[in-house]
Amino acid sequence: MPLNEALAILFPGQGSQEPGMGKDLAEADAGIMNIWKKAESISGIDLRGIYWDGDEAEMANTRNLQPALTVVNIALWSHVAGKAAPACAAGHSLGEFSALAAAEALSVDAVLETVSLRGRLMSEADPSGIGTMAAVLKLELADVEAVVKESAEAVGEMIRVANYNTPGQFVLSGTKAAIADAAERVKTRKGRAVPLAVSGAFHSPLMDEAAKELAAHMAKLSWNKPKFPVYCNVNGSPVADAASLKEIMPRQMTSSVMWIDTIRNQYGAGIRTFAEVGPKGVLGKMLGQILKPVADASEWSSVSVGNLEAAQAYLNG
């Protein structure tokens, strides 16, 4: 059934960080500055020092990044929420927790506690450095799936498609040996494999132990009926009740991110405007590739709310 409204709010995840993110909004709003302080207290990390004055290596560390980016996403959303009337929300990987906060399925405090724990668990999940990830560009899904199958059989180790980002961009996750084998097979097919600077094989079974600990934490949280449906990474489908969110979210860390399905399902349900709330505008750049096979470019639009200036423009638009 089509949604009543035509707006979807999208929240980005890891890879959307940038120096100074969130500083302008925090300096303009004491309430938002307090969210940064709360996240620092919960995580035990000097987030403002890292993201407003630190170096890129520390900014890319998933332990630091998860609470910091979540604060930025939530802060931007709080600034524009009074004007936005979303029919639904979604978040890419880490961004899904910002979507839960926006929909009030979880409190802001609960989300900050969860992403701080998630960041620590994911940073510690692979101490021996077995796993890694690589983005695959310029290959269609059938070729990517063939590469994964061949590499799994040749190496005998875990590899899977972890992110279905666009029809021309997929992310592989697995052991270093399997990913290296896959990268060579991608080249023979005239594609491009780009190693990702990550501390493990995220969104794969290699995160299973970390996922179990996070699941135990999430089982204790107070889940609420979301104010609007949240399209979940695990299946790209909308979830509109607390019990279902509580059941599906613990699977997120080891499941693939079905982002193509998420966006196309939103469009199929009547969404015609996509507002990315978070730095860099990464998700907005994916929309054209995702929707091209199913929609004319004139039938939908997007807006990026990535900093204080963009938020003010959105409010005044």
The pLDDT tens digits for 29-43 are 999 999 999 999 999
pLDDT of 245-281, one tens digit each?
999 999 999 999 999 999 999 999 999 999 999 999 9
User: Mean pLDDT throughout 191-217?
Assistant: 96
CA distance to 100, 109, 156, 226, 304, per residue, from 105 (Å): 5, 12, 41, 5, 23
Beta carbons of 245 and 239 less than 8 angstroms apart: yes
Could you tell me which residues are beta bridge partners of residue 8? 88, 274
The predicted pLDDT at position 16 comes to 94
pLDDT of 69-96, one tens digit each?
999 999 999 999 999 899 999 999 999 9
| Residue 136 C-alpha from the chain's centroid | 18
Nearest-angstrom CA–CA distance, 87 and 194: 35
Nearest-angstrom CA–CA distance, 163 and 170: 6
User: Mean pLDDT throughout 184-205?
Assistant: 96
pLDDT band at 54 (very low <50, low <70, confident <90, very high): confident
| Catalytic status, residue 92 | no
pLDDT of 146-184, one tens digit each?
999 999 999 999 999 999 999 999 999 999 999 999 999
User: Mean pLDDT throughout 105-123?
Assistant: 98
| Catalytic status, residue 43 | no
pLDDT band at 199 (very low <50, low <70, confident <90, very high): confident
The predicted pLDDT at position 287 comes to 98
Question: What's the 3-state SS for 231-300?
Answer: ECCCCCCEECCHHHHHHHHHHCCCCCECHHHHHHHHHHCCCCEEEEECHHHHHHHHHHHHHCCCCCHHHC
Nearest-angstrom CA–CA distance, 262 and 277: 16
Beta carbons of 214 and 118 less than 8 angstroms apart: yes
pLDDT band at 56 (very low <50, low <70, confident <90, very high): confident
Catalytic residue among 16, 43, 78, 93: 93
108 contacts: CB under 8 Å, gap ≥ 6: 35, 74, 101
Tell me which residue of 49, 26, 38, 27 sits closest to 101, measured CA to CA.
38
The predicted pLDDT at position 5 comes to 55
Q: 44-48, 55-59, 70-74 — which is least confidently predicted?
A: 55-59
* In the block, residue with structure tokens 């979540």: 70
| Widest Cα–Cα separation across the chain | 57
| Percent of all residues in the chain with a pLDDT value above 70, rounded to a whole number | 98
Catalytic residue among 173, 203, 256, 304: 203
